[in-house]
Structure 1
Amino acid sequence: MTSPIWASRTKTRGMVLDLIRAARVISRVELVAATGLTAPTISEVVRELMVDGLIVEAGWGASTGGKRPMLVQLNPPARYSVGVHLERNTCVIVVVDLAGRQIARTSFSGVASMPPERGLSLVAAQVNASLDTAAVDRSKVLGVGLVSYGPQDRRAGVLLTPQPTEEWFGYPVADRLAESLGLPVLLDNDAAAAAIGEYWMGAVEPRSTYGCIYMATGIGGGVVVNGEVYRGSSSNSVEIGHISIDVNGDECPCGNRGCLENYAGPSALVRQALATRRLALDPTGDDFLAEFARLAAAANAGDPTALGLIEQSARYLGCAAVTMATLFDLDMIVLAGPSFAVAGSIYQSVIQEEVDRRTFARQAHRVRVVPSVSGSDAAAIGGAVLVLQSELTLGPGRSADSTRPPPSPTGEAPATTTV
């Protein structure tokens, strides 16, 4: 639930806190220079943040000719948030502190085979268990970031896809989980979450424009500009897994034809590998992440069939990366998600080669292809980070695209204030 101390928070407060987060340690003088605000204003905002426990003093900085400045930094245990990544085959739950550092993690399977009421009840029980195990004070928990595949209606807090089963289509996942936990819940796209996680963790320059290709069972994408996720009109943007690479290709469940995901995604590769009858995969298994991990292990060990399949997938993804970089003029592309975690070196090398060779703006600047700092848990950590960003730098109960506030345990949207 939202604490009353947030009612008077201003946009200035959020901006200053975000600068402190990005700088790790910074002086009031440097905050004045970075914001253009007056020294008295910065001093007052810093004082408020210290009273609320969000920042602490970090010792004296070097003198530049006068009095040595006092440095400030985030106070990581001041607030916490929870990230829940709901995938087709598995669910990952993480608890992070104010700095985005993971302090608890659990994962389990089976949710996909359950009706939503039962599945979300299990998720809620695991969230509560994680908070208890980490001995987190519930009054310091800002909320839960529930991230999953799209399409979604983030304002209504529902998935707009009949996956994993028809029962999940249109089900109010955010409201129901909020009611069970007594905490605000934000629904978001897993790839967008993974993308913003890189920003909060300090892996990218604060003012950079970068993209994220996220690969678990499927393929998604996200773009971050100056620390905010690019949303589009319905927050279903940059779905690169569903760009067409073959106009005459097979019809995809999304309604398009020849979608990238159906050629380069882990499930597609597992099916192609099974057709070769050369690799020891389980033809009856439905856990594509596990089977893809076996395929990747074979490729990493030098098996020519497995390596050929992974490299072909990487070429397709390289094409998607070039498209993304050309559309948004990106500085960097981050590869995130469990499937990249098991075959990342192959993908990174091939995708970087394609981007270097084919990106439109390559004469002006290079686009780097790098692995996520959060590894296979990038989406779950990103979900928790979205809550931190929403509550601490964008305003209480607000999300980056100003959609509705997260529901309260009674099902009513909490009041918000201008930030």
Structure 2
Amino acid sequence: MPTSPVWGSRLKTRGLVLDLIRAARTISRIELAASSGLTPPTISEVVRDLMADGLIVEAGRGVSTGGKPRRLLQLNPTARYSVGVQLERNACVIVVVDLAGRQVARTSFRGTAQMPPQQALPFLATQVKALLDEAAVDHERVLGVGLVSHGPQDRPAGVLLTPQPTDEWRDYPVAPRLAEILALPVLLDNDAAAAAIGEYWLGTVDPRSTYGCIYMATGIGGGVVVAGEMYRGSSSNSVEIGHISIDVHGDECPCGNRGCLENYAGPAAVVRQALATSGLAEQLMLDPADTDFLTGFARIAAAANTGNTQARHLIEQSARYLGCAAVTITSLFDLDAIVLAGPSFAVAGSIYQTLIQQEVTRRTFARRAHPVRVVPSASGSDAAAIGGAVLVLHSELTVGRAPTEAAHAL
């Protein structure tokens, strides 16, 4: 049933107020009216509704400015929860976050993506339920699940449009099927987009800024956020920087393009380069038959940190390529900052941050107009999983949907 204009307006107003309270951590009703442009009576009505639902609570009084101290409001973190599931090619991470976006439980395991989806999704559902039980989270307070993975995707349909990791996953309705098993709404999204919006909720960046996120796990992805809103493009398959061509005469990529960045700078590419470097594979015990590129890449990154010149050369080369991509998206979107997120930045993140910052500072088109900061993610290796959970909070509480629409998410 379509949402009425009045109900839709109420939801947006409620979402706006809730997001202002979340961002401010503590705020008075008067400050809410000033920040939102809403009238004090409207703010009072919305606050009453939010308190009745248990989403916000009063948190004492502020400092007096001459009159009666104002009562402060804040989120009630335990009022609602959401789940983030990062489905990687070689691994899976599941997190539970509270209403404030804080992680309250986590688990990880390998091998799920190598199963057929008919086997993998019931297993994932079992792991989600076990983690909620372990964290003593009331299932009735769980808003839904953010399932994040690589693209391309049909996000509204909840379908992956790629044969990775195996042909069986292509065109399989992963989100609807998982929602059916869990009896919870499931939102499918790109892992890099999820990591990007998660940084906004967790306060890594200025909420008014335009910033980008470079996400590197097995592959390389990107996202751009403008004043708290994700840039989606026409099909939510935007900012795929891993598939920017850096060599028009390069090898053909499975995506259909040639000379893609991911094939020069991604973890799999760095591992292949290490295997081709005399003596390095033996020294780091790299197995040419191993498809777990994250583990091999972590060994190379650790060796680079400890002074191995061959490993350092490979990591710095990868960082320079990523710096080129960072310059491209910064010039395209006129970014204020770039966040580096994902498990592949966990070990050698400082090398990447330094070299990417150098490239951006030296080469960005608008460098004389304003600086561009390159910063590490607040969520580290789990940025995509936490971002997936945050996307559920954002969709359900900030954007706002009518109750009937929420039910239809199943």
Q: TM-score per shorter chain, which class?
A: over 0.9
Displacement, 1:112?
2.2
Displacement, 1:397?
7.5
Residues 195 and 212, structure 1, Cα contact 8 Å, conserved in 2: yes
Q: Is 1:316 aligned with 2:316?
A: no
Aligned to 1:89: 90
Which of 327, 330, 335 is matched with 2:335 structurally?
Answer: 330
Aligned to 2:4: none
Residues 390 and 397, structure 1, Cα contact 8 Å, conserved in 2: no
Q: Is 1:346 aligned with 2:351?
A: yes
Displacement, 1:189?
0.2
What is the distance in 2 between the residues matched to 1:364 and 1:62?
39
Q: Is 1:20 aligned with 2:21?
A: yes
Which residues of 2 match residues 269-288 of structure 1 at below 5 A? 269-279=270-280, 280=284, 281-288=286-293
Aligned to 1:79: 80
Aligned to 1:264: 265
One-letter identity of the residue aligned with 1:320 = A
Residue 231 of structure 1 aligns to a residue in which SS?
coil
Offset from partner CA, 1:26-58 (integer Å, 9 cap, x none): 111111110111111111111111111111111
Aligned to 1:203: 204
Residues 336 and 373, structure 2, Cα contact 8 Å, conserved in 1: yes
How many positions carry a matched residue from both structures?
A: 399
Offset from partner CA, 1:317-337 (integer Å, 9 cap, x none): 000000111111111000000
Offset from partner CA, 1:90-122 (integer Å, 9 cap, x none): 000000000111111000111122111101111
Displacement, 1:413?
4.2
Aligned to 2:362: 357
Aligned to 1:4: none
Residues 92 and 108, structure 1, Cα contact 8 Å, conserved in 2: yes
Q: Is 1:38 aligned with 2:39?
A: yes
Q: Is 1:393 aligned with 2:398?
A: yes
So what's the TM-score if we normalise by structure 2? 0.95
Residue 10 of structure 1 aligns to a residue in which SS?
helix
Displacement, 1:64?
1.9
Displacement, 1:65?
2.2
What is the distance in 2 between the residues matched to 1:65 and 1:30?
16
Aligned to 1:401: none
So what's the TM-score if we normalise by structure 1? 0.93
Percent of matched pairs sharing the same residue: 77
Residue segments in structure 1 that go unaligned for 5+ positions in a row: 1-6, 399-404, 415-419
Which of 382, 389, 392 is matched with 2:387 structurally?
Answer: 382
RMSD: 1.5
Q: Is 1:98 aligned with 2:118?
A: no
Residues 391 and 397, structure 1, Cα contact 8 Å, conserved in 2: no
What is the distance in 2 between the residues matched to 1:312 and 1:85?
28
Displacement, 1:200?
0.7
Residues 83 and 144, structure 1, Cα contact 8 Å, conserved in 2: yes
Aligned to 1:190: 191
One-letter identity of the residue aligned with 1:344 = G
Residue 339 of structure 2 aligns to a residue in which SS?
strand
Offset from partner CA, 1:256-288 (integer Å, 9 cap, x none): 000000000000000000111422212221100
What is the distance in 2 between the residues matched to 1:369 and 1:197?
16
Which residues of 2 match residues 63-142 of structure 1 at below 5 A? 63-142=64-143
Superposition misfits of 4+ residues, deviation over 4 angstroms: none
